[in-house]
Amino acid sequence: MADEKDVKVYALSTCGHCKNAKKLLDKCEISYDSVEVDLLSGDQRQAILEEVKELNPRCSFPTIRIGEKVIVGYKEDEIKEALGIS
Amino acid sequence: MKTTETAGSNRLIHEKSPYLRQHADNPVDWFAWGEAAFDKAANEDKPMLVSIGYATCHWCHVMAEESFSDPETARVMNENLVNVKIDREERPDLDQIYITAVSALTGSAGWPLNVFLTPDGKPFYGGTYFPPRQSGGMPSWTEVVRAIGRAWQDPAERKKLLDSAGNVAAVLKQHLHDAQAGTASPGLDEASLEKALDVFSGSYDPVRGGIGKAPKFPMPPVLRFLLFYSRYSGFRSGQTEKGRKALDMALHTLREMAGGGIFDHIGGGFHRYSTDDNWHVPHFEKMLYDNAQLIEVYLEAFEITGEERFARTARQCLEYVRRDMTHPLGGFYSAEDADSRVLDLAGPEDAGQGVSKAEGAYYVWRKAELERVLDAPAAEMMAYHYGVKAQGNAKTDPFGEFAGKNILFDARSIEDTARYFGQTVEETASALQSARERLLAARNQRPRPQLDDKILTEWNALMISALARANRVLEDPSYMAEAEKGIEFLRQYLFSEDGHLYRRWREGQRAIPAMAGDYAFLVQALLDTYDASLNPGYLKQAVDLGGRMLDRFYDPDHGGFFMTAADQDRFLLFRSRDFTDGVVPAAGSVAALNCLRLHRLTGQDRFYDAARGTFDAAAARIRKNPAMAPQLLIALGSDLLGSAEVVIIGRRGEQDTRSLLHRVRKYPRESAQAVVVENASDRRQLLGFMPHVEGMKGFDQGAAAYVCFNRACRDAVGDSDALDKLMQEAMNTQ
């Protein structure tokens, strides 16, 4: 799809809301990048945490970037709105 | 001993409800609610009388004695009617339908409730207490029965009755069954809480506390709402004027109640309500549901203020329930009567003693009795402290029952009493304590009020919640043991072998399929018991039972909960809803908070959707009548506030886990939930409904806390200050 947005999910492996958010994206057949920050270590982890902090200073998960929009938490309605599906 | 062979007993002798059994010797040919009564009404073409009350209801006893025990009255009733007795505590669903009917027909209603039905169960006329002889414009009971009988036999009159029944049934259905058509109107929001608070503030008694004028009921859902609101507004916007006002109203009311005659200063526990504005002259019955809920309210007040006095009142109520209201196997009895046979401990030893019954007889004292039981200094101190006078101390005495009698109340503060007798406060407290113990022992020579020893799931669950909270707040493990014994009792006696929950147990028999209230309060009790014990088995039961409650009682089409399941009773006019939080909150209001808590634990959206659906179904009614559902508004506030869900990986007994847990427990249960995973067994039990605990690990150096809030989670922290910071951030963020 031409207007498919770039979607990235920053998650924790231990976070149920992250799993639900990814499940929702799967259900809507959206392709996305995802990273489980707690499973990283060292510089890699630091680098990703910096990325998350820029989007969401509280650094809570899931932090979901959909195009230019950032959604914090598993907010089904907001996610769908940002994706342009209802 | 009565046997089923007793001449003159009717078929209520086979019932287990103490209230129904109180009518088993009546010459009235009573039926219990059910097929036999409906068959007889249809076969004999007679209207039905449904007469509803409860075991400890004073005016029910009066009418039973005056009218239902009278052979001539019974003859008239048997000739004209099919007569049905209902215990409202066993069947709150029927009670709700028929009391609403009488209220619609006559403008007021109460118990005893006497309502006349067509043979297919539709109400057409009713009232409450009727005198045996015409008095003050009130027709006598037999006149009413005869008039109904005549009208039924007259075709033109009967048509009128049937038309009336049709209209009443339609109105009832609209009022009690239908949800609001659509939810086009805006839903509930933060302003809904403020509006309710404004109503309570407007009718608050700033002098003696309490909402409204006498009779004053201790309304636990209102008190809880006020306490919740004060914490809620603190989280939302810092301490506000309104929040402070709510807290003051609740605390002042609790102090006044605990010092008044509505509290049993000798034996602990609260009586049902106060007949005067000063909480001094109570109606003396004691209900399990009042005491269970008030224990929680006093404990919450203690948590908020740290004032020892609130904890003491809670302990005295807990002691009362433990001593007088607990079945040896662990369940809790329902209530104690207001009246009992009079025995004057300083009176003559003659045959007149202990024969006649009087309101409060077990609880009130003549000054001479104090002087007989206690030594002179103790009697003097008790009289001074508790306001005991030779001429009696009841300022209001509408039925002339308390002449020369004293209802103990805190007439003086402990400091005043100490000063007056030139003693220290400690000496005075200890002297009063030992005098109270002697009076308690002496009082036990009197005949006890009748005990309503049926065991109801709904009310037992309230008591289990109270015990769980007592364990948590007072840090006394004996309360946990009682809570667990209570749950075990319900598991063993109120669940059938195939797992169905029932409402009532007595004398070895469980009966009446559980209603929404039984489910809602039991789910709440299981969640509360988990919070106190951290035994994951209770959480699993709460999730299972909460799911079954949705299946059986939730209305997926319009939102909200029905009181009864679809297959409850084929003689019910319709499945009614309860929107009003009375002395006991409505099932739906309790279920709404349960659903939020269950959603936070499991992430299952069906629980969250049910909570929202319950708010929406009640929205139009609450906008019209903002103070009708304070318990539901607590749930709403909890949703507006959000909740921190914390999973702690650590050992329950170790200091690191305990200090993390302590930080979570500073927050009310409406806004924080802690789950502890110690070992593989915990994890296995939790995984079924909390799959995300799978990857959670403790730190090498100790316990770890995983915090989620508002559907977003943080990486684990191990330090309790760091946890506290996350909790504070969470509670102050939207």
What pLDDT does B183 receive? 53
Chain B residues lying within 8 Å of A17, measured CB to CB: 603, 708, 711-713
Chain B residues lying within 8 Å of A37, measured CB to CB: 715
Which of B712, B715, B729 is facing A38, going by the closest CB pair?
A: B715
CA distance B617 to B613: 6
User: Do B707 and A60 meet the contact criterion of CB atoms below 8 Å apart?
Assistant: no
Which of B692, B710, B711 is facing A14, going by the closest CB pair?
A: B692
pLDDT tens-place string over residues B173-224: 988 988 764 455 668 999 999 999 999 999 999 999 999 999 999 999 999 9
Segment among B181-190, B398-407, B654-663 with least mean pLDDT: B181-190
- Count CB-CB contacts under 10 A for residue A8: 15
What pLDDT does B733 receive? 56
Beta bridge partners of B673: B645
Chain B residues lying within 8 Å of A59, measured CB to CB: 714-715
Query: Do A18 and B729 make contact, defined as CB atoms within 8 angstroms?
Result: no
pLDDT tens-place string over residues B549-565: 999 999 999 999 999 99
Reported ipTM: the value is 0.95
Q: Which of helix, strand or coil describes residue B140?
A: coil
pLDDT tens-place string over residues B529-538: 999 999 999 9
Q: What is the arrangement of strands in the sheet containing B455-456, beginning at the earlier edge strand? A: B455-456, B502-506, B509-513
- Return the residue in A9, A10, A15, A41 with the most chain B beta carbons within 10 A, the one to mutate for interface testing: A15
pLDDT tens-place string over residues B2-34: 334 345 789 999 999 999 999 999 999 999 999
**E strand or H helix at B335, and its extent?**
strand B335-336
Query: Do A74 and B712 make contact, defined as CB atoms within 8 angstroms?
Result: yes
Helix, strand, coil content of chain B in percent (nearest 5): 50, 10, 35
Query: Do A60 and B714 make contact, defined as CB atoms within 8 angstroms?
Result: yes
Beta bridge partners of A66: A7, A69
Q: Pick the closest to residue B132 from B227, B86, B64 (CA basis).
A: B64
Q: What is the pLDDT of chain B when averaged over all its residues?
A: 94
Q: Which tokens sit at B375? A: 């030594």
- Closest Cα of chain A to B243: distance in Å? 29
- pLDDT average, residue stretch B493-497: 97
The DSSP output letter for B572 is -
Q: Which tokens sit at B724? A: 């506290």
3-state secondary structure B506-524: ECCEEEEECCHHHHHHHHH
Q: Which of helix, strand or coil describes residue B8?
A: coil
pLDDT tens-place string over residues B249-300: 999 999 999 999 999 999 999 999 999 999 999 999 999 999 999 999 999 9
Which of A17, A63, A72 is facing B603, going by the closest CB pair?
A: A17
Q: Which tokens sit at B91? A: 């069947």
Q: Which A positions 46-65 lie with beta carbon below 8 A of chain B? A: 58-63
Global pTM reads 0.94
The answer to whether residue B470 scores a pLDDT higher than 90 is yes
Chain A residues lying within 8 Å of B691, measured CB to CB: 16, 19
Architecture of domain B11-176: 3-Layer(aba) Sandwich (3.40)
User: Do B585 and B631 meet the contact criterion of CB atoms below 8 Å apart?
Assistant: yes
In this structure, whether the domain defined by B644-731 belongs to CATH 3.10.530 is answered with: no
Confidence class for position B364, pLDDT limits 50, 70, 90 = very high
pLDDT tens-place string over residues B90-133: 999 999 999 999 999 999 899 999 999 999 999 999 999 999 99
Confidence class for position B302, pLDDT limits 50, 70, 90 = very high
pLDDT tens-place string over residues B43-101: 999 999 999 999 988 899 999 999 999 999 999 999 999 999 999 999 999 999 999 99
Q: Pick the closest to residue B61 from B490, B358, B377 (CA basis).
A: B358
pLDDT tens-place string over residues B594-630: 999 999 999 899 999 999 999 999 999 999 999 999 9
| Beta-sheet pairing, B82-87 with B48-53 | parallel
Confidence class for position A1, pLDDT limits 50, 70, 90 = very low
Beta bridge partners of B357: B341
Q: Pick the closest to residue B124 from B166, B77, B175, B78 (CA basis).
A: B166
**The domain B194-336+453-641: what is its CATH number?**
1.50.10.10
Q: How many residues does chain A have?
A: 86
CA distance B545 to B576: 21
- pLDDT average, residue stretch B472-499: 96
Cis bond upstream, residue B112 (ω within 30): yes
The answer to whether residue B734 scores a pLDDT higher than 50 is no
- Closest Cα of chain B to A67: distance in Å? 20
What pLDDT does B179 receive? 73
Domain boundaries, chain B: 11-176, 194-336+453-641, 339-448, 644-731
Chain B's closest residue to A76, CA to CA, is B711
What pLDDT does B207 receive? 97
Chain A residues lying within 8 Å of B692, measured CB to CB: 14-16, 19
- Return the residue in A9, A10, A13, A17 with the most chain B beta carbons within 10 A, the one to mutate for interface testing: A17
Which of A12, A58, A75 is facing B711, going by the closest CB pair?
A: A75
Q: Pick the closest to residue B703 from B663, B668, B672, B643 (CA basis).
A: B663
pLDDT tens-place string over residues B326-349: 999 999 999 999 999 999 999 887
Report residue B189: phi and psi, to 5°. -150, -170
What pLDDT does B398 receive? 78
Find tokens 């287990």 and name the residue: B16
What pLDDT does B347 receive? 85
What pLDDT does B237 receive? 76
- pLDDT average, residue stretch B399-409: 93
Confidence class for position A3, pLDDT limits 50, 70, 90 = low
Q: Which tokens sit at A58? A: 């509280």
CA distance A52 to A72: 10
Judged by phi (left if over 0) then psi (alpha if -120 to 50, else beta), residue B507 lies in left
What pLDDT does B136 receive? 84
Q: State how far Cα B223 lies from the chain centre.
A: 13
**E strand or H helix at A46, and its extent?**
helix A42-55
Find tokens 């206690």 and name the residue: B374
Task: Give the percent of chain B with pLDDT over 70.
Answer: 97
User: Do B718 and B704 meet the contact criterion of CB atoms below 8 Å apart?
Assistant: yes
User: Do B102 and B109 meet the contact criterion of CB atoms below 8 Å apart?
Assistant: yes
The answer to whether residue B451 scores a pLDDT higher than 50 is yes
**E strand or H helix at B123, and its extent?**
strand B123-127
Chain A residues lying within 8 Å of B693, measured CB to CB: 14
Query: Do A16 and B715 make contact, defined as CB atoms within 8 angstroms?
Result: no
CA distance B145 to B139: 10
What pLDDT does A56 receive? 95
User: Do B12 and B85 meet the contact criterion of CB atoms below 8 Å apart?
Assistant: yes
Which of A14, A72, A74 is facing B706, going by the closest CB pair?
A: A14
Q: Which domains does chain A have, with CATH numbers?
A: 7-80 (3.40.30.10)
What burial letters (b/e) apply to B14-29, b meaning 16+ CB within 10 Å? ebbbbbbbbbbbbbbb
Q: Which of helix, strand or coil describes residue B109?
A: coil
Chain B residues lying within 8 Å of A19, measured CB to CB: 691-692
What pLDDT does B97 receive? 95
Q: How many CB pairs under 8 A join A and B?
A: 56
Beta bridge partners of B700: none
pLDDT tens-place string over residues A44-70: 999 999 999 999 999 999 999 999 999
Same fold, B11-176 and B644-731: yes
pLDDT tens-place string over residues B684-726: 999 999 999 998 999 999 999 999 998 999 999 999 999 999 9
Q: State how far Cα B515 lies from the chain centre.
A: 15
